[in-house]
């Protein structure tokens, strides 16, 4: 969960988010090296007293500053392409959950179980408990087992919404008449918060998302209790 003093990415809660954070650090390191190198060259240009009045071309330096950016882009593109394939990969999910966006709440359906569906509304301020989080807690959380591959099917009943959990590295559009899918795999138990990330109307800011990741045995007991 993001707090007021955090200025970086949220702690990862899925293998995908871990890879995204590694890619972020990898790219940031390359950008830092380029920034330092270009800054040093600019300082040298400003403060040295060397001139070359008759310089018309420099084949060697032009070849270097053409090849180096190409190699830099390759070092960034290869892990980026790998991540794209990881995001789209869904192999034999153990559980399928359907998510439907509404103005302005979410509803969930556990397709593998009979008649397990519920709506998830934000808890109003006047109904909050001492342990509730203002404007981001809901009355019915999406409960999933951790260390289990889950297929999430996302759609909308009215306008375009966007189902987002930053700790999972997930953002998927909920589009009317279209069924999008993405894979979820939580690496640890806990509560993970998100919000609709597509402006969908006047109460766009009041349709949060909460995932409760629990042990598979506890998840089975939760299903039996419904």
Q: Output the pLDDT for position 131.
A: 79
- The pTM (predicted TM-score) of the whole model is 0.79
Q: Output the pLDDT for position 36.
A: 96
Examine the pLDDT at 50 and tell me if it is beyond 90.
Answer: no
| Choice between 89 and 149, residue whose per-residue pLDDT is larger | 149
Q: What is the mean pLDDT of residues 4-15?
A: 79
Examine the pLDDT at 111 and tell me if it is beyond 90.
Answer: no
* % residues pLDDT > 90 (the chain): 45
Q: What is the mean pLDDT of residues 56-77?
A: 89
Q: Output the pLDDT for position 57.
A: 82
Q: Is the peptide bond before 104 cis (omega within 30 degrees of 0)?
A: yes
Q: Output the pLDDT for position 10.
A: 82
Superfamily of domain 95-225: Cupredoxins -  blue copper proteins (2.60.40.420)
Q: Output the pLDDT for position 2.
A: 61
């Amino acid at each position: 969960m993001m707090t007021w003093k955090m200025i970086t990415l949220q702690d990862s809660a899925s293998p995908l988010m871990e890879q995204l954070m590694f890619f972020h650090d990898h790219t940031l390191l390359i950008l830092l090296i380029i920034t330092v190198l270009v800054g040093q060259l600019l300082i040298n240009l400003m403060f040295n007293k060397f001139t070359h009045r008759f310089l018309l071309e420099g084949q060697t330096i032009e070849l270097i500053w053409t090849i180096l950016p190409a190699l830099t882009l390759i070092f960034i593109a290869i892990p980026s392409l790998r991540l794209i394939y990881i995001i789209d990969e869904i192999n034999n999910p153990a559980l399928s959950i359907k998510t439907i966006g509404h103005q302005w709440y979410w509803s969930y359906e556990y397709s593998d179980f009979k008649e397990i569906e519920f709506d998830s509304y934000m808890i109003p301020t006047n109904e909050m408990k001492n342990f509730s989080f203002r404007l981001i807690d809901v009355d019915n959380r999406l409960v999933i087992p951790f260390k289990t591959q889950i297929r999430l099917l996302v759609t909308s009943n009215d306008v375009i919404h966007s189902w987002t959990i930053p700790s999972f590295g997930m953002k998927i559009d909920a589009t009317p008449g279209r069924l999008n899918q993405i894979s979820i795999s939580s690496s640890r138990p806990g509560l993970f918060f998100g919000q609709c990330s597509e402006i969908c109307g006047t109460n766009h800011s009041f349709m949060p998302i909460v995932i409760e990741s629990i042990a598979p045995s506890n998840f089975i007991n939760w299903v039996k209790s419904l």
